[in-house]
Amino acid sequence: MTGRDAAFHFSNALRYRHADHPDQVHLTPSYVLIPVRADLGGDIGLDPCTSEDNPVGAARFYTATDDGLAQPWSGPGWTPSVFANPPYGKAREPWVARCVDAGRRGQAVVLLMPAATDTRTFQAAAASADAVVFVRGRLKFGTLRPNRRQAAASHPSALIGWNTALTAAAGLGLHMAAAGKASPRLWQGYLFGSGGAA
């Protein structure tokens, strides 16, 4: 190689990390869960992608072993609300599609995801949602790194809500209500069509 090497090379290995990679798991901090729970009517009916100890305290939950994507997200007697903090990277795409679908079917859904506004996945979610909150700062996960500083997200985050206005979560950052939802044809094209960054 001629010339100088860059001090840092971005690795797509991070972006395309498999869903069960240990670094895909970041538990939602309580300061986010409290307003999310309020926006979902006081209870979280389903957390479709969590760990066995059910840290969100959802009435029903699925772990990676259960494969929440393959399971029902509603049923008779279920609290009709969903909170999802899915794996990041490409692994989040089917979770976003499932949240969009659940919202379209009338469930109250809140999705926590990276605020990658340039991606078709984010744009499809936001275009079909009722509200978005761009979280101020980086999420803090409440665990200490070796340098004794709190572990934080490496990216900005957003809460995306369907069939909820996210008014309680508005205090977390910039709150935007949908002026008018995009047509399903538009967001399906973004999410399931071709072109654009994922």
Q: Answer whether residue 91 is part of any domain.
A: yes
Three-class SS state of 121: helix
Confidence bin at 196 (pLDDT 50/70/90)? very low
Nearest by Cα to 82 from 167, 5, 174, 161:
161
Residues 6+ apart with CB under 8 A from 91: 17, 18, 19, 24
Q: What is the pLDDT of residue 13?
A: 53
Query: Which CATH number goes with the domain that contains 113?
Result: 3.40.50
First-to-last CA distance in the chain? 31
Q: Answer whether residue 165 is part of any domain.
A: yes
* Whole-prediction pTM: 0.79
Confidence bin at 60 (pLDDT 50/70/90)? very high
Q: What is the mean pLDDT of residues 138-151?
A: 71
Q: Answer whether residue 5 is part of any domain.
A: no
Count the domains in the chain.
Answer: 1
Q: Answer whether residue 176 is part of any domain.
A: yes
Query: pLDDT tens-digit profile of 65-104?
Result: 999 999 999 999 888 899 999 987 777 899 999 999 999 9
Please report, for residues 143, 150, 166, the alpha-carbon distance to residue 147 in angstroms, rounded to integers and kept in the order given: 11, 9, 35
Q: Answer whether residue 185 is part of any domain.
A: yes
Q: Answer whether residue 137 is part of any domain.
A: yes
Domain that holds residue 167: 25-63+79-192
Q: What is the mean pLDDT of residues 118-123?
A: 92
Q: What is the mean pLDDT of residues 93-122?
A: 94
